[in-house]
Amino acid sequence: MTQSCIHDIRLLDGLGGDYPSADVFIEYGLIADIRVPSEPVHPNWLVIPGNRSTLMPGLIDGHVHLFFDSGPKAPMAMMGKTREQLIAEALPRARMTLKSGVTSIRELAGTPKAMFSVREALAGEKDVPRIFDCFTTLTSEGGFGDFVAVTITKDNLASVLKTCAEKADFFKILGDRDDPRSPDGFAQHFDDATFAEICRTARSYGKRITAHAKGRKTIQQCIANGIHSIEHAVRAEDEDLAAMAERGIFFDATFLGLRCRADNQANFDEFDRVKAFYPRASRLGVPLALGSDAGAIFTPHAHAVKEMEFMVQAGLTPMDAIIAATSVGARRLGDDSLGAVAVGRKADLLLIEADPLKDVSSIRSSLRWVMKDGRIV
């Protein structure tokens, strides 16, 4: 049966719309029609009862590391493992992620030293999220993550980026590292000329660039070179946030990852710093997307809704958090087939028994089912 109707639901469309009574028609994995208010359904359509529960788009987690084990040694724990071992460990994490309500992810670590494409490796698997893959992270000589990332220099950047462009949906640059000798605790990986050349070359392949950037100098380096998305941005100031808003640079707070590290490491203050400026980022109009840092040190997989709870605690309304986790995430991916309940988009949907606008945690606690490509998983 390729034609179905989710009948008699309250609809949150992921774009800010809230409709108390609606029917959503699905054909060949796409949303074929939306009728407001709900009305009797033609008998040729398979009816999926909604019973006035809330229908919303599937979540998009923009910061996931499927090959990281969430342990204290992540990501080093994946070193020395074969392709088969890595996939065997990642597959249950991916399935768990989909069942938690996340229908699409940005894979932001890739595999060690670009062993293979995560997206391609899991393409034939059932009940896993749609994967947008960075293929591998790019770092400097002696830089953060150099034991798993690919080292990029002035001399090899052209060849490295050409190779990665064949497999990567986007590039991820590790822009700085912890350094207690630096004034704000972070040291840049690349000089301005090299960073600019990396960005220019990446764009020549039509690839968007996301950057791990915690220190202010690196954040400003990202802004100056038109980075598409910044992860963490711990030392961002209002001037930086205003520039990010003006240029449409997306921002992942990764609250879950920062909170989990704060709970396990003494004197780790990054969660509090980001939470303090997050409301200003929202008011200034920075595009805020969801990214949990799943799999990173101490950070569990399949907890994107917890990230949304932190976003609300930091000043977003539940509706804003839902938009960030759906349509804004799709905009960052550059894929307008995702992230909203709208005619022509993919039927990646969640049915929630409780009201997520009263308590966003109900997306986790009262999730009835997850649908991907029109099929309940």
- Distance CA(358)–CA(348), nearest Å, equals 23
**Do the beta carbons of residue 60 and residue 340 sit within 8 Å?**
no
Q: What is the pLDDT along the chain (377 residues), one digit of tens a residue?
A: 578 999 999 999 999 999 999 999 999 999 999 999 999 987 888 999 999 999 999 999 999 999 999 999 999 999 899 999 999 999 999 999 999 999 999 999 999 999 999 999 999 999 999 999 999 999 999 999 999 999 999 999 999 999 999 999 999 999 999 999 999 999 999 999 999 999 999 999 999 999 999 999 999 999 999 999 999 999 999 999 999 999 999 999 999 999 999 999 999 999 999 999 999 999 999 999 999 999 999 999 999 999 999 999 999 999 999 999 999 999 999 999 999 999 999 999 999 999 999 999 999 999 999 999 999 99
Helix and strand tally (H, E) in the chain? 12, 20
Backbone angles phi, psi at 47, to 5 degrees: -95, 125
CB 8 within 8 A of CB 24: no
* H or E element in which residue 278 lies: helix 270-284
User: What is the per-residue burial (b if ≥16 Cβ within 10 Å, else e) of 270-298?
Assistant: bbebbbebbeebbebebbbbbbbbbbbbb
DSSP conformational letter for 1: -
User: What's the pLDDT at 87?
Assistant: 97
Backbone angles phi, psi at 264, to 5 degrees: -120, -10
Nearest of 143, 152, 206, 130 to residue 178 by alpha carbon: 143
pTM for the structure as a whole: 0.98
Give the pLDDT of residue 1: 52
Identify the CA nearest to 302 among candidates 289, 293, 312, 313.
Answer: 293
Residue pLDDT, tens place only, 218-259: 999 999 999 999 999 999 999 999 999 999 999 999 999 999
Q: Which two tokens stand for residue 360?
A: 């966003």
What's at 360, amino acid-wise? V
Q: With contact defined as beta carbons under 8 Å apart, do 82 and 115 qualify? A: no
In order, the DSSP letters of 103-168 are EEEEESSBSGGG-S-HHHHTTT-SS--EEEE--BEEE-TT-TTTTTSEE--TTTHHHHHHHHHTT-
What domains can you pick out in the chain, each with its CATH number?
3-57+341-376 (2.30.40.10), 59-333 (3.20.20.140)
Terminal-residue alpha carbon distance, the chain: 15
Residue in 346, 351, 376 with CA at minimum distance from that of residue 366: 351
Residue bearing tokens 């595009």: 287
Per-residue pLDDT tens for 108-155?
Answer: 999 999 999 999 999 999 999 999 999 999 999 999 999 999 999 999
Count of residues making up the chain:
377
Which SS3 state, helix, strand or coil, does residue 219 take? helix
Cα–Cα distance for residue pair 139/158, rounded to 1 Å:
14
- The two tokens of residue 373 are 């490509």
**Percentages helix, strand, coil for the chain, rounded to the nearest 5?**
30, 25, 40
Question: What are the C-alpha distances in Å from 118 to residues 38, 64, 107, 139, 321?
Answer: 41, 12, 8, 19, 28
Name, in order, each residue with C-beta under 8 angstroms of 68's C-beta and a sequence gap of 6 or more.
74, 75, 77, 78, 109, 294, 295, 296
Burial of 75 (0-12, 13-18, 19+ CB in 10 A): buried
The three state secondary structure string of 154-198 is: CCCHHHHHHHHHCCCCEEEEECEEECCCCCCCEEECCCHHHHHHH
